[in-house]
Amino acid sequence: MKKRALIVAGLSLMIWLPAHAQQDWRALILGALQSPTGSVDTVLTGPYADQAKQGLKTNEDIRVRVSTVASLPQPGCKRMEVLMYIPDKKFPTTDGGEHEFRTGFQLNVCPDGRPPESSDAK
């Protein structure tokens, strides 16, 4: 049951993310896209972090890592991975074990913040 709750919480975060945190997420994704390292790693803050912590029943920091997965044919466009996780925090599972919270997604994006004309990775 607890594992199911973690899955539901993770899916809820992914559903809530695009609808309610577009400006903050857009800045993180574009920051990683333009970074010399191709990535950004930061602590999630603000109302979204508060809601996520409440849903996960934790006070631990939720980290967000945005990193480059692949370059795309359109100049400057890349496939990016967004990963949310809580380092060193284990949640109990129904089988008596423990599992780290991690959830994420990938998207194709260009420097203007829009998706590319073609999404085929190199």
Strand-strand pairing, 63-71 and 78-92:
antiparallel
Per-residue confidence band for 92, with pLDDT thresholds at 50, 70 and 90? confident
In a domain, 118, yes or no: no
Give the model confidence (pLDDT) of 35-77 as tens digits. 999 999 999 888 888 888 898 889 999 999 999 999 999 999 9
SS3 label, residue 30 = helix
The domain tally of the chain equals 1
Between CA 88 and CA 57 the distance in angstroms is 15
Range of the domain at 65: 2-109
Q: Where are the alpha helices (DSSP H) in the chain?
A: 2-20, 22-34, 46-56
The tokens describing 36, both together, are 């010399």
In a domain, 115, yes or no: no
Find tokens 């400057």 and name the residue.
Answer: 76
pTM of the predicted model as reported, rounded to 2 decimal places: 0.71
